[in-house]
Copies of this chain bind each other. A is one copy, B any other.
Amino acid sequence: MSNTEALFRPKSIAVVGASRHPGKIGYEVLKNLINYGFKGKIYPVNPKADEILGLKTYPKVSSIPDEVDMIVVSVPAKLVPGVVEDAGKKGVKVAVIITSGFKEIGKVELEREVVETARKHGMRVLGPNIFGIVYTPLRINATFGPQEVIPGSVGFITQSGALGIALMGMTIVEKIGVSTIVSIGNKADIDDADLLQFLEKDESTKVVLIYLEGVTDGKKFMKAAESFSLRKPLIVVKAGKTEAGAKAVASHTGSLAGNVAIYSTLFKESGILEAVNVEQAFDWARAFSYLPPYEDGQLVIVTNGGGAGVLATDVLAENGISLSRPPDSLVNSLKPKLPEFASLKNPIDVTGMISNEGYVDAVIEAIRNDGVGAVLALYCETAVTDPVVIADELINAVKELGGLRKPITVAMIGGEKSYKAVAKLNEAGIPTYPMPERAASSMAALINYRKVRERVERRLKELGRTTNA
């Protein structure tokens, strides 16, 4: 097991700075680790306690009688180098340093001391100035954030602590399942590239989303991103895209946000899907995480509201995706079933007169059609339909199909019932949004990722680099 791997797959974790006092970081981390169900060994380290949360405590890491793979540290900054030295000597593989008060407030030397101490012993460091790490396949929640993170296949890396922990909570409400959440903070040692190298091969992770303020080693990042993009989609929200934003970054994490133009080029070249904002990034991540990749074949829009179809068509066109006439076989099979004034162009407008069954049938017909490669289903709540019934029927119909073998994104627009339907569909693994543009943008990301991957592949070939994809 490499030491980066130990970050995700430790067999034993020591919580250094474990506390008996609820509200303290050292208490919350230990509680989350125990309650979220980590099956490995957990050792609280606190020289002033015998037992915390039912576990025997140890005065220091080196006094733990067994092997320790990972330590999670929340003691004051000035004590951190000593803890790292002690753990390093014992052979700990990775230190997750939650403690803040390092480079971000100008204490560059103290941070360097920590990293150098760790390196001396071949130990890796995550942080400092972070909220911890989650890895759901092994039920690790070593953070002081929310406890009941939903297991899933989104990997979320965040350079911002407070925003990251808030978004961690958001994923729970929005039913976005994660494989991992990594607070990367000052990136004194382990950086985004290191994490991407691991997650590229991690079977539990289908897509990675990074909240990025700046990178320290551009070349290393780009190489890791390229390699990652060949296998899995990589979504980035770049903070500090403007000069003013870059200044704000400098006073936040002390990172160089760098030149905007350079980032955009770098992102494009290395196959990164750049989202305009956090909402869009998670919209996309949801779609990639739930769905099979887009392979080939036409994208068909099915809508019961013409306006929603127009808005979606605009978003697709803005993302370089054009719509062609639906396959004849689909047109022929749908025609007799739809209301008189339905439009069988693309978007297929089944009209507001359609029933629950009529709407679901049209969507399923589209999914089943061999010429169709992807479906964008838009639904506007009408007096003659019930969005919750539609959600249930759609979920059942997809089950009967044996799951989704091509991507579909859904928008359910309306009142209370539509909001319920959105939640239901998302829980069932059908990515659904309350706005047509969000469903369309997610579909565009799915389709464009195929092109992006091919472009990276071509580029690497031209450069004579081998790819292992």
Could you list some 21 contacts between A and B, CB below 8 A?
Answer: A23-B383, A28-B383, A145-B383, A162-B306, A162-B380, A163-B306, A163-B307, A164-B307, A165-B381, A166-B382, A167-B413, A169-B414, A170-B413, A170-B414, A170-B418, A170-B434, A172-B415, A242-B317, A251-B345, A279-B437, A279-B438
Which residues of chain B are near A173, meaning CB under 8 Å?
415-416, 419
Copy number in the complex reads 2
Interface string of A399-422 (1 = CB under 8 A from B): 000000000000001111011000
Interface string of A35-59 (1 = CB under 8 A from B): 0000000000000000000000000
> Quick one: given A173-B416, A317-B242, are A380 and B310 in contact (CB under 8 Å)?
no
CA distance A316 to B160 in the complex (A): 19
Q: Which residue of B lies closest to A441 (CB)?
A: B277
Is the C-beta of A384 less than 8 angstroms from some C-beta in chain B? yes
The 10 A-B pairs with the shortest beta carbon distances in the complex, nearest first, are A160-B307, A169-B415, A162-B305, A252-B306, A163-B307, A242-B317, A166-B380, A245-B314, A162-B352, A162-B380
Closest Cβ of chain B to A104, distance in Å, is: 8
Which of A239, A257, A343 is packed against the most chain B CB atoms within 10 Å?
Answer: A239
Contact present for B239 and A310 (CB under 8 Å): yes
> Quick one: given A242-B317, A436-B278, are A347 and B248 in contact (CB under 8 Å)?
yes
> Quick one: given A162-B306, A307-B163, A382-B162, are A242 and B349 in contact (CB under 8 Å)?
no
Which residues of chain B are near A211, meaning CB under 8 Å?
307
Contact present for B310 and A383 (CB under 8 Å): no
Q: Which residue of B lies closest to A340 (CB)?
A: B105
CA distance A253 to B415 in the complex (A): 24
Contact present for A163 and B308 (CB under 8 Å): yes
Interface string of A152-175 (1 = CB under 8 A from B): 000000111111111111101100
Which residues of chain B are near A437, meaning CB under 8 Å?
277-279
Contact present for A415 and B239 (CB under 8 Å): no
Closest Cβ of chain B to A390, distance in Å, is: 13
CA distance A345 to B250 in the complex (A): 12
Is the C-beta of A333 less than 8 angstroms from some C-beta in chain B? no
Is the C-beta of A9 less than 8 angstroms from some C-beta in chain B? no
Contact present for A160 and B248 (CB under 8 Å): no
